[in-house]
Amino acid sequence: MPHRTDDRPGLDATTRFRVQLKHAVAIGPGKADVLQGIAETGSIAEAGRRMGMSYQRVWSLVQAMNRDFVAPLVEKQRGGSAGGGARLTPTGEQVLALYRRIEADAERAVARRLPQLVALIRGDAGG
């Protein structure tokens, strides 16, 4: 959840959190939202539609996460009479929950300090 403040005219401060692990392994708002979408819909395609992403883009993010963590985060289910789908594995549920907790902790820290930083920025900056 990005933090926004519009306390002064012309200023819009936004924060987004990405947890960088090693060189290329990271989870941020995009991957977390993919996991959330899959958890809520049971579908990679539907998660992509919600986010305005192609199935291929979402699937490539899922493959990267499945490869980068100690166990897969998303499990595809083959079609059958009920059709196919996808679900978070227990590790996927844990990663999403931990990321959301980190995000909430960071939001609280930002909310305490961001007004001080915004107060030091010129109102016409960046315009």
Q: Model confidence over 80-115: pLDDT tens digits? A: 555 679 999 999 999 999 999 999 998 898 888 888
Quote the pTM value: 0.77
How many CB atoms sit inside 10 A of residue 7's CB? 11
Band (pLDDT 50/70/90 cuts) for residue 16 is: confident
Query: Any residues with CB less than 8 A from the CB of 98 and at least 6 apart, and which?
Result: none
pLDDT score for 10:
46
Mean pLDDT, to the nearest integer, of 38-52?
A: 95
Q: Which of 77, 84, 75, 91 is nearest to 27 (CA)?
A: 91
Mean pLDDT, to the nearest integer, of 36-48?
A: 95
Q: Topology of domain 20-119, per CATH?
A: Arc Repressor Mutant, subunit A (1.10.10)
Query: Any residues with CB less than 8 A from the CB of 6 and at least 6 apart, and which?
Result: 12
How many CB atoms sit inside 10 A of residue 44's CB? 23
Q: Which of 77, 72, 92 is nearest to 32 (CA)?
A: 92
**Residue ranges of domains in the chain:** 20-119
CA distance 103 to 77: 30
Q: Model confidence over 61-83: pLDDT tens digits? A: 999 999 999 999 999 987 655 56
